[in-house]
Structure 1
Amino acid sequence: MENVLRDHPPPPCDGANLDLGLSLREICAAHRSNEKQQMRALLRSVGPSFCPSDVDWFGDESHPKNADKSVITKFLQSQPTDYSTSKLQEMVRLMKEKRLPAAFKCYHNFHRADDISPDKLFYKLVVHVHSDSGFRRYQKEMRHMPSLWPLYRGFFVDINLFKSNKGRDLMALKSIDNAVKDASENDGQREKDGLADGDANLMIKLKFLTYKLRTFLIRNGLSILFKEGPAAYKTYYLRQMKIWGTSDGKQKELTKMLDEWAAYIRRKCGNDQLSSSTYLSEAEPFLEQYAKRSPMNQILIGAAGNLVRTEDFLAIVDGDLDEEGDLVKKEGVTPATPEPAVKEAVQKDEGLIVFFPGIPGCAKSALCKELLNAPGGFGDDRPVHTLMGDLVKGKYWPKVADERRKKPQSIMLADKNAPNEDVWRQIEDMCRRTRASAVPIVADSEGTDTNPYSLDALAVFMFRVLQRVNHPGKLDKESSNAGYVLLMFYHLYEGKNHNEFESELIERFGSLIKMPLLKSDRTPLPDPVKSVLEEGINLFNLHSRRHGRLESTKGTYAAEWTKWEKQLRDTLVVNSEYLNSIQVPFESVVHLVREELKNIAKGEYKPPSSEKTKHGSIVFAAINLPATQVHSLLEKLAVANPTMRFFLEGKKKTIQEKLERSHVTLAHKRSHGVAAVASYGQHLNREVPVELTELIYNDKMATLTANVGCVDGETVVSKNEWPHVTLWTGEGVTAKEANTLPQLYLEGKASRLVIDPPVSISGPLEFF
């Protein structure tokens, strides 16, 4: 070949002898120490035809590329000149107030350089959400404020800040301000979730690549697609869509697109799996090309900017519901938890896996035994069987998978705690491979800020375990480290509160059953029990930091563990009467769980509400007080004062009903206006201390006077002249009439009991 080329040289190419300058490697090497100089050299090298000016990269002397951080503050303080700007301000303000994990970067807009003046500035605002937790928290806010614009992973908008001519523009600004307020207050009446027709274009351009589609259907399915093939991938994404409750029509559209994606990426990559960290470099070009084929495809993918013609988009979605809920508001109630998957009856040729994301002592084995022996099963003819984890030799979940393959149509009661996402993934995999649905059963507990299970629940679990005799798993009263084992399980759930925990299970499996555990009218956990549990948690943290998962009988803290285990047993024995009294009777637990499982099998499942459901718009802001603490206060007052005891005795039932909804109203829409209620948004879901100072009552009503405390040093001021907790109203008496009690007391028509010293109770500030 070399000889042929030497004897017959190729003809010269045009420009072959031109000096093309330094190579990319040489340019970068020459300016290695300074990235800015490196960029300037690269821009100079491509020549003036490609880059006539580097202003877009570096700005100029008067306007550097990066704008001052104060631009965001100025933007939020500025008067919006249209409704869409006010909605954007609302979104950014909330994200800043709630400290969501997001970046807000401002750049000078040099495309408008000729229009820049001291009184008129142009910027590009880039918003980037760093963490998935930001979406969860923002969605929680959207439940309280349905008119909020939806949030996306990243987007940018053009901002124009200008000074108005005060004399000439005052009336115009007032008119704009009134229009914005009117639009905001009429938000709930809008058919399109607060988006005026002119704003739809902006929201379409903000919606680039739907996060659900990109992350869950493409990225998370890569390993299945490459390891198990297109058929398994199809099973995966159809199940995911079922969990979301995706409509049949939208499922059909997504299936067509995802099948094309699977064929495209397998053809391009072969058997070399595409990395989940770089998948967007392949997915985005594919989706962009797919979107260009038709307006329907553009809607499906949510393509950006000029790819979408707004009039085409609106013609398609007019009168219809957008799958993501971005443009059209669903009528009725906003679900507090993700859309359930179980909308049709579980097919008879499919199986069911019932499992327990719980802790030892949650009564799963006793429940499985009762369910197994229940006459009539779950209302159909599928066989029910159970597999107890403590009796299985070797790994448990592979054994469950084997049983599922042998009996694919059966209902399996998986009698073993399933405490982490690794186990949940195995169960999801089993469902895909063996055509089954899965139902998690969790003990109903209000939890803590960082754990789905409260200390009350943990105390009951420990109490039950330490009453066991001859347990197959050797975890009973004879176990020297039983307390440590339960603390270890408790910490496996650390990091999620009960709302996040339950929502994730529903999103993964489409359903959830709450197993009643504690009575709602129980008194607070006794201090000795609470103290011994907190000591154990502190000791566990010390032990695990130093020794990891080493047994408690070994290591530096072995003596402390021995002492604590004895103290735990002694404390629980002393408080055994209390711990027995606060538990929901087991017979009713079995009945409720069995009925829920029957409903799931028949397709009548309704997701449990982990938050208060909002009907329509927000009406008032209030501090929600724990019923048990208010109840405890009343009991103490009754013991100390015979008159009070006599007054409360005949009204126990009606007072108990009121206590379930005990709150201190801060502002009401009818009395104080929408803006007054909305002003408490900055403290939403924050714990606010309330001091209860006196009880005022007569033969028609009774209330507690409340002094509202501070959040981060700032006093939360009630718009009500007299903040109070309504305890009881007689027949035909409205709660609003309780506001007259202080005046009635001054007139001698009501009695007062001073609470000395005042009792302090904290509760979250919420919208209702």
Structure 2
Amino acid sequence: MRQRILCSRIFTVPFYYTNFIPVRAYIPIARYFALPSLSHRSIIMPKSERQKRNVEANIDKAASSSSMPSAVAEEVTDRIGGLRIRAENEVQKTIWKPESSQTIANADVENVSETTLKSSASLSRIFKGNLLENFTVDNSTYSLAQIRATFYPKFENEKSDQEIRSRMIEVVSKGLGTLEVTLKHSGSLFMYAGHEGGAYTAVGVFVLGRMFHEAWGTAAGKKQVEFNDFLEINRMCISMELVTAVLGDHGQRPREDYVVVTAVTELGNGKPKFYSTPEVIAFCRKWRLPTNHVWLFSTRRSVTSFFAAYDALCEEGLATTVCRALDEVADISVPGSNDHIKVQGEILEGLVARIVSHESSKHIEEVLRKYPPPPVEGAGLDLGPSLREICAANRSDEKQQIKALLQSVGSSFCPNFSDWFGVESGDSHSKNADKSVVSKFLQAHPSDFSTTKLQEMIRLMRERRLPVAFKCYHNFHKISSVSVDNLFYKMVIHVHSDSAFRRYQKEMRSKPGLWPLYRGFFVDINLFKANKEKAAEIAKNQHRWNC
């Protein structure tokens, strides 16, 4: 049988920005991402736990076909053979049982409801007329766009798998980089930029809030407030893999509902800055957020051993076997906060491999010394009904399900419901804004460098008719500042097909200054009229950034 190679299956995943609760018909997918680095490749581990395992044949095949030194291949084969035997003895069938009913803890339901009612009343007055329709674009009209949340650009996938592998080995062998490998958790992308940044996945908000309670115990409410303020003041967002049973099974029903942080981004006023893996670990350990399992391969011997291990296990490898094999051959292994076997199970969706800085090993060792694993102070606390219990109790009413989740997570993570339900409680679509927001945004003068670059991106995508949607919503967090000459919106760029990335990357090669098209893209937009003094100030700053 022909062995699967790297990235033998790639699926495109729609990014859901709106209130998205249970979807049962979710296809088994893999979400791939890359940093702007030399090379990056995601590796799919087939979900074949029920098949008869024939790892020995794969090991022999990998050892005979590999270009690595024979001594290294033999050593890896011996180690994996022993690991496979131990792993098979430890595999147990997982059957989920709901937790017992518990009381809701740390949920200020009355306060949330009162805030929501007041907000709805104010919004009804403000949006009574169609302000956007009456907002004309003239020479005094400016736009300000700020990225609130984003995920890595999609990596280019045109080169062959063997070419990528050879290039990775060459870069590591010459000391120009380090191969970093992480686990691919089988979940959904969830980006969070604070309770004002546009977190429109109630399930994700609930799970993140629950993990704060598990990590911080009785201090969770205070830490949640501090965390939201920190993200807002520093204009940051965190991206996570959200793994739950209520959003659909991706090949295996997870044992627990959890998140794993995959990216931390500083948004600033220019191009987003993505944290390196050592910086992500430091950030997460400070806030007690869950991190992923990371392996570093910084020598030719270790990187070729990794590919031998992959070739041997890619068909039948389980999480226990794969993790132990990589622990054996990696130069550095940093276990994740959540054990994949305990929270998700033995079926491993895949690995993510990428080239990072050759200084990564030194940086990650410094971080591990400075930031030891944080304690878990809420393990014995009554945290109230679980995600699955809440969704099951409100199965027939999606809106009530969302409300129950947000009420349970508490007012620190959800001060009001306007982001989910819009202006009037009876109109779930009142949060949507007219599509003319995009046209007027492009017609208005840009008020800073970031706005200029975003206009350039959107204008190009519309001119080239790329399969991309621009969805706009009212920004209810700015209601106190809205007037006939000052409008606020939220926009999400939704890429419908991978062809958009390929065509966009082609445009980037001819336009080096063009910003990348990110996998997820949340933007705050402000359309406003500027007086002569304000216009002169903007023009002065514009001259500065053009220089």
Q: Is the shorter-chain TM-score for this pair beyond 0.5, marking a shared fold?
A: no
Higher helix share: 1
The answer to which structure, 1 or 2, has the higher relative contact order (CA under 8 A, 6+ apart) is 2
Larger radius of gyration between Structure 1 and Structure 2: 1
What's the TM-score, normalizing by structure 2? Answer: 0.26
